[in-house]
């Protein structure tokens, strides 16, 4: 009763009441649709907003990428146009310079040609001859003196600085030169231009090029000189000194060259032939000014042309050059113009030049023109890098320098990535550079700096709500962020602090485009869209992103509204559910009270019927059920008392069973114990049978143990026999060992024989070596013979040549005889005697021709024989060489045999050793067999011990039979206990028998 009470209390306390359950279910039913609708609207609106944002981001990205591509394409086109302009400027300048050069060349040539003609006319005039004769003899007279006085004027009119008239001996007989006085001998000082002019002028009209004259205080002088002749006699030499100022005047005319241009003359010795307008001192023929430029090299080599070079002042210039070869003059004419001035024309009234204006209009921070060697000869801004060499100068390790290098390597337009450029105030700078290529060679590079502000402006143009930016392959920003303050920096451009390694950056740099919710550089959750941007050498990532928080704002508002609605609905549902469940549970509670009392054993309790619905009907049925249960409990008590009595009777009947009496049987009644008694009787029957069987089996085991014991004895005897056999085997192994020792001795004998055969092989080697030497000697002899035959052939050829000569002589003799014959015949009767002689000569010539033909035939035969002999000698040499090779081969083989003999000897020695080891092993085997014999004896002893153990087992079996005999079996009652005792004794007797 107490347990029941506990269960009821437990049931009451555990689980919810129906009212509570109903309340709970009502609330759940009200909540589920609300939650489902709320979740669905949140999810759908969130997805719609995300999709809209992604679409917006992607379109922004496409727009900006397109804008960026357009920007770079436009910049490239600009640069191409600019390059075209620059090339056109260069060509125009070259054309102008070539025109100026040709004009000046013509002027110089006409000038020099006229001077030569003047000198020739002067030297060739009869008046001059007369005057000179007079001067020489000192009797020139009044006319002569007058002529002499007009000479100075003549010289000045013809651009000669002075005139010298020199006697054939080299003495100055007339001089208009204030430095060189009349009467001095030019031969006095060697190497002067005056002496050279005199010496060469004595022979013909000559030009003597400028050189420093020791006679004229080391001033440069050049002369036109010519001889004054009377007939073939040289009366004297006229030396006219060239006026250098005249050449300077031609050169210094600056038409078409501007202020920075110049033109000058250079000799083959690379010294000036005119004065440079850039130096105050005299450069003419001055060794201090060496003009060894590419243009001079080309012009002196006879070529005309134009090019960009470094001039004698170390400046980059456009140079136009041509050779001047006239009247014995061999010079180079050069017209040069400063490169930066030539390439950048400036319109009148403008502040900037053409290129600077261009850069200003397009907003380029700087614009450059570079020589292919890297020299920046033009810069619109003229910053620190202007007039430096970008490849080797102070900025050679900049991104700009790398760009120029790439342009020179690829000969193509290159766009460099942004990097900090020191010359631009360490600001991030990118460059667009384009080469001008002519004849597959870069002649100039046009470069411009791309303003980063324009790139950033493009990025911010279509930004919308989000942020769009560019990232380089190094993860650094290539555009300015809209809000750099968010990154705690002033500028995000190339800023290491804002280096990005986000998924969009990695993906875009790897060449993939995509859209995803991810985390940006600030660790914020963002919607990000990205694309790779590739233009020429640029590989950037364009990324457009918008904060997830911004997108989620409307959704979050919706969520808040939904939550409030849910709470209100829940409260309303609770109140309604509470009221409804109260009405339902009153009848249930009345039933529950009655059930509790019944559980406590109070079967008199009845439930009050309150409602007329299913619960009311259930209360009245429950009252009926309690009454039925009361009747059933009284009937069951009587049946229990009867069963108790039957069980007691059965226990009394089977009490003897405990003493091992298996003959007892229980009485089978009709009540519930009847079945138990029947089953017990059947079990006792089966137990009796089993114990009987155990008895029989024990007897059989005893018998078998006895039989096994006798078998083991036999096994012991066999083991003894085995030991005897092993002893016999040991004897035989000893005999085998002796035989192996004999074999070892024979192997030693074989080693001696092998040594003998090795000696024989060595002897053979020596003989073959001698043969080989003999063959070598034969080869020498045969080659000598071949040479002798060749010499014979050459001699025969010489004889053949002689025969040809004889043939020619006989041919000519024949013609001679023929002509003589004709002449004789023409002479008629007078020539008859001569005709006879001619005929005789003819016959002689014919015979000589016949003999020569025979000699030729003979020599041809001899030459044939010699060729044959030569071939057979060659064959002999080949055979001798083959013989030598064979004997060398034989020698190698004999040496091989000798080596093999050595190896055989070693092998035989090893066999001998192995045989000895075998003999030792056989002895060991014999010992081992002996040990096996001992083991066999031990086995026999062990077998005997086993036999005695088997006997022990038989006695154990006898003891087991004794134990089983304690049970009283039904068959024992029939046969009597005596039989059991006999069996036991027989086993004991048998045991004794074995022992005996």
Q: Say which residues have a Cβ less than 8 Å from residue 385's Cβ, sequence separation at least 6.
A: 368, 376, 379, 393, 394, 395, 400, 423
At closest approach, how far in Å is the CB of 825 from another protein? 4
Burial class of 384 by CB neighbour count within 10 A (0 to 12, 13 to 18, 19+): middle
Smaller CB distance to another protein: residue 410 or 825? 825
The residue (of 11 and 823) whose beta carbon lies closer to another protein is: 823
Please report how close the Cβ of residue 856 comes to another protein at its closest, in angstroms: 14
CB of 858 to another protein, least distance (A): 21
DSSP conformation class of 308: E
Provide the phi-psi class of 735: left if phi over 0, else alpha when psi is between -120 and 50, else beta: alpha
Burial annotation 188-218 (CB, 10 A radius, 16+ → b, else e): eeeebbbbbbbbbbbeebbbbbbbbbbbbee
Comparing CB distances to another protein, the nearer of 102 and 811 is 811
Cβ closest to another protein, residue 835 vs residue 877:
835
- d(C-alpha 440, C-alpha 447), whole Å: 19
SS3 402: helix
Q: Tell the smallest beta-carbon distance from residue 845 to another protein (Å).
A: 12
Q: Which residue has the tokens 């050059």?
A: 321
- CA 546 to chain CA centroid, Å, is 40
Residue 237: strand, helix, or coil: strand
Distance CA 99, CA 122 (A): 34
Q: Point out which residues pair with 514 in neighbouring strands.
A: 530
Tokens of 643: 């069963």
Nearest distance, CB of residue 855 and another protein, angstroms: 18
Separation CA 887–CA 354 (nearest Å) = 92
Closest CB to another protein among residues 739, 815: 815
Which CB, 589 or 832, lies closer to another protein?
A: 832
Determine contact, residues 576/29, Cβ cutoff 8 Å: no
Centroid of chain to Cα 141: 98
- Taking a C-beta distance cutoff of 8 angstroms, is the pair 408, 402 a contact? no
Taking the CA of residue 685 as centre, how many other CA atoms within 13 Å lie in the half-sphere pointing to its CB? 7
CA 567 to the chain's CA centroid:
67
Q: Which residues of 941-976 are buried (b: 16+ CB within 10 A; e: fewer)?
A: eebeeebeebbeebbebbebbeebbebbbeebeeee
- Tell me which DSSP letter residue 418 carries: P
CA atoms within 13 A on the CB side of 707: 5
Give 629 or 819: the residue with its C-beta nearer to another protein.
819
In the complex, minimum distance from the CB of residue 812 to another protein, in angstroms, rounded to a whole number: 6
Which chain residues interact with another protein by CB under 8 A?
Answer: 811-812, 815, 818-819, 821-822, 825-826, 828
Closest approach, Cβ 249 to another protein, in A, equals 54
Nearer to another protein, 557 or 812 (CB): 812
Q: Which is nearer to another protein, 840 or 889 (CB)?
A: 840
| Residue closer to another protein (CB basis): 736 or 855 | 855
- Sign of dihedral through CA atoms 823, 827, 828, 833? negative
Smaller CB separation from another protein, 7 or 823: 823
Least Å distance, CB 834 to another protein, is 12
Question: In angstroms, rounded to a whole number, what is the distance separating the alpha carbons of residues 22 and 582?
Answer: 10
**367-370 and 441-450 as β-strands: parallel, antiparallel, unpaired?**
antiparallel
Q: With left for phi above 0 and alpha for psi between -120 and 50, is residue 265 left, alpha or beta?
A: beta
59's tokens: 């379109």
**Least separation in angstroms between CB 372 and another protein:** 55
Least separation in angstroms between residue 814's CB and another protein is: 9
DSSP category for residue 334: E
641 or 830: CB nearest another protein: 830
Q: State the minimum distance, in angstroms, from the CB of residue 863 to another protein.
A: 21
Nearer to another protein, 446 or 849 (CB): 849
Choice between 30 and 818, CB closer to another protein: 818
Over 953-973, what HEC string results? HHHHHHHHHHHHCCCECHHHH
Residues 421 and 365: beta-carbon distance below 8 Å:
no
State the minimum distance, in angstroms, from the CB of residue 818 to another protein: 5
Minimum distance of another protein from residue 255's CB (angstroms): 53
CB of 799 to another protein, least distance (A): 20
Minimum distance, C-beta of residue 882 to another protein, in the bound complex (Å): 48
Measured CA to CA, the distance from residue 496 to residue 519 in angstroms comes to 19
Name the nearest CA neighbour of 596 among 6, 8, 7: 8
> Please, which residues have CB within 8 angstroms of residue 694's CB and are 6 or more apart in sequence?
964
Would you state the structure tokens that stand for residue 830, as one six-digit string? 């007078």
Alpha helix segments (H runs only) across 500-547: 503-509
Q: How far is the CB of 798 from another protein (least distance, A)?
A: 21
- Kindly state the smallest distance separating residue 816's Cβ from another protein, in Å: 9
Q: How far apart are CA 943 and CA 957, in angstroms?
A: 22
741 versus 811: smaller Cβ distance to another protein? 811
CA distance 341 to 316: 11
Pick between residue 648 and residue 826 the one whose CB is nearest to another protein: 826
The nearest distance, CB 806 to another protein, in angstroms, is: 15
Please state whether beta strands 316-326 and 514-519 pair in parallel, antiparallel, or not at all (unpaired).
Answer: unpaired
Q: Return the number of the residue (522 or 822) whose C-beta is nearest another protein.
A: 822
Our CB check for another protein shows the closer of 723 and 848 to be 848
- Determine the Cα–Cα distance for residues 555 and 553; give it in Å rounded to an integer: 5
């Amino acid at each position: 009763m107490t347990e029941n009470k506990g269960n009821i209390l437990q049931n009451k306390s555990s689980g919810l009441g129906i009212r509570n359950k109903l309340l709970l279910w009502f609330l759940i039913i009200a909540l589920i649709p609300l939650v489902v609708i709320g979740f669905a609207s949140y999810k759908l609106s969130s997805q719609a907003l995300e999709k809209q944002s992604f679409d917006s981001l992607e379109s922004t990205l496409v727009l900006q990428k397109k804008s960026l591509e357009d920007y770079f394409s436009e910049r490239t086109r600009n640069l191409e146009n600019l390059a075209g302009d620059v090339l056109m400027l260069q060509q125009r300048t070259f054309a102008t310079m070539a025109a100026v050069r040709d004009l000046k060349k013509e002027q110089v040539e006409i000038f020099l040609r006229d001077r030569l003609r003047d000198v020739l006319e002067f030297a060739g005039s009869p008046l001059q001859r007369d005057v000179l004769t007079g001067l020489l003899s000192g009797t020139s007279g009044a006319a002569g003196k007058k002529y002499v006085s007009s000479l100075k004027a003549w010289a000045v009119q013809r651009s000669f600085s002075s005139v010298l008239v020199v006697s054939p001996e080299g003495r100055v007989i007339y001089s208009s030169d204030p430095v060189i006085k009349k009467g001095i001998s030019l031969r006095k000082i060697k190497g002067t231009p005056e002496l050279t002019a005199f010496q060469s002028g004595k022979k013909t009209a000559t030009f003597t090029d400028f050189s420093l004259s020791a006679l004229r205080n080391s001033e440069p002088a050049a002369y036109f000189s010519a001889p004054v002749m009377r007939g073939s006699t040289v009366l004297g030499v006229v030396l006219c000194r060239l006026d250098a100022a005249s050449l300077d005047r031609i050169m210094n005319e600056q038409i078409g060259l501007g202020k920075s241009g110049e033109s000058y003359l250079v000799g083959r010795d690379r010294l000036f032939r005119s004065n440079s307008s850039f130096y105050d001192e005299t450069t003419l023929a001055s060794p201090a000014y060496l003009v060894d430029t590419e243009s001079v090299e080309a012009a002196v080599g006879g070529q005309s042309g134009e090019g960009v070079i470094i001039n004698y002042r170390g400046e980059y210039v456009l140079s136009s050059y041509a050779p001047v070869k006239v009247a014995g003059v061999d010079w180079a004419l050069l017209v040069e113009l400063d490169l930066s001035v030539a390439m950048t024309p400036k319109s009148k009234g403008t502040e900037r030049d053409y290129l600077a204006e261009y850069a200003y209009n397009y907003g380029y921070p700087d614009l450059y023109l570079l020589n292919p060697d890297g020299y920046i000869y033009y810069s619109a801004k003229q910053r620190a890098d202007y007039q430096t060499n970008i490849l080797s100068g102070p900025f050679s390790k900049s991104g700009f320098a790398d760009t120029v290098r790439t342009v020179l390597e690829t000969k193509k337009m290159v766009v460099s990535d942004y990097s900090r450029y020191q010359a631009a105030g360490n600001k991030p700078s990118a460059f667009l550079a384009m080469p001008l290529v002519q004849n597959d060679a870069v002649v100039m590079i046009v470069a411009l700096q791309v303003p980063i502000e324009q790139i950033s402006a493009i990025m911010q143009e279509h930004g919308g709500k989000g942020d769009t930016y560019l990232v380089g392959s190094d993860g650094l920003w290539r555009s300015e962020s809209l809000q750099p303050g968010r990154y705690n920096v002033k500028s995000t451009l190339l800023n290491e602090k804002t280096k990005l390694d986000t998924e969009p950056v990695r993906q875009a740099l790897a060449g993939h485009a995509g859209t995803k919710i991810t985390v940006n550089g600030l660790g914020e959750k963002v919607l990000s869209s990205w694309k790779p941007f590739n233009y020429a050498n640029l590989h950037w990532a364009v990324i457009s992103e918008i904060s997830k928080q911004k997108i989620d704002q409307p959704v979050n508002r919706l969520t808040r509204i939904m939550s409030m609605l849910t709470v209100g609905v829940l409260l309303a549902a609770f109140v309604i559910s509470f009221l409804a469940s109260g009405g339902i549970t009153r009848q249930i509670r009345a039933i529950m009270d009655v059930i509790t009392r019944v559980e406590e054993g109070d079967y008199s309790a009845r439930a009050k019927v309150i409602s007329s619905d299913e619960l009311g009907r259930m209360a009245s049925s429950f009252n009926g059920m309690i009454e039925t249960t009361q009747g059933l409990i009284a009937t069951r008590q009587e049946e229990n008392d009867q069963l108790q009595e039957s069980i007691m009777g059965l226990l009394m009947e089977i009490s003897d069973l405990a003493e091992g009496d298996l003959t007892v049987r229980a009485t089978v009644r009709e009540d519930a114990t009847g079945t138990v008694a029947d089953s017990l009787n059947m079990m006792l029957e089966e137990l009796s049978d089993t114990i009987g069987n155990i008895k029989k089996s024990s007897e059989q085991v005893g018998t078998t143990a006895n039989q096994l014991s006798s078998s083991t004895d036999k096994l012991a005897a066999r083991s003894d026999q085995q030991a005897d056999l092993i002893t016999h085997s040991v004897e035989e192994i000893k005999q085998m060992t002796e035989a192996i020792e004999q074999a070892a001795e024979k192997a030693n004998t074989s080693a001696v024989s092998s040594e003998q055969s090795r000696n024989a092989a060595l002897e053979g080697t020596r003989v073959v070596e001698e043969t080989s030497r003999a063959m070598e000697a034969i080869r020498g002899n045969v080659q000598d013979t071949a040479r002798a035959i060749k010499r014979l052939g050459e001699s025969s050829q010489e004889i053949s040549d002689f025969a040809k000569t004889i043939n020619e002589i006989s041919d000519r003799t024949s013609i001679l005889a023929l002509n003589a014959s004709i002449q004789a015949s023409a002479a008629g009767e007078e020539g008859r005697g001569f005709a006879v002689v001619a005929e005789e000569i003819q016959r002689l010539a014919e015979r000589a021709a016949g003999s020569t033909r025979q000699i030729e035939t003979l020599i041809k035969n001899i030459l044939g024989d010699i060729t044959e002999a030569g071939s057979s000698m060659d064959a002999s040499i080949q055979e001798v060489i083959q013989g030598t090779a064979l004997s060398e081969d034989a020698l190698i083989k004999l040496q091989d045999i000798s080596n093999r003999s050595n190896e055989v000897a070693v092998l035989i020695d090893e066999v001998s050793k192995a045989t000895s080891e075998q003999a030792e092993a056989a002895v060991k085997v014999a010992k081992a067999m002996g040990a096996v014999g001992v083991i066999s004896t031990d086995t026999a002893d062990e077998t005997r011990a086993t036999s005695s153990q088997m006997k022990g087992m038989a006695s154990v079996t006898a003891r087991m039979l004794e134990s089983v005999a304690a049970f009283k079996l039904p068959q024992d009652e029939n046969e009597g206990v005596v039989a059991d005792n006999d069996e036991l004794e027989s086993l004991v007797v048998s045991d004794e028998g074995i022992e005996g």
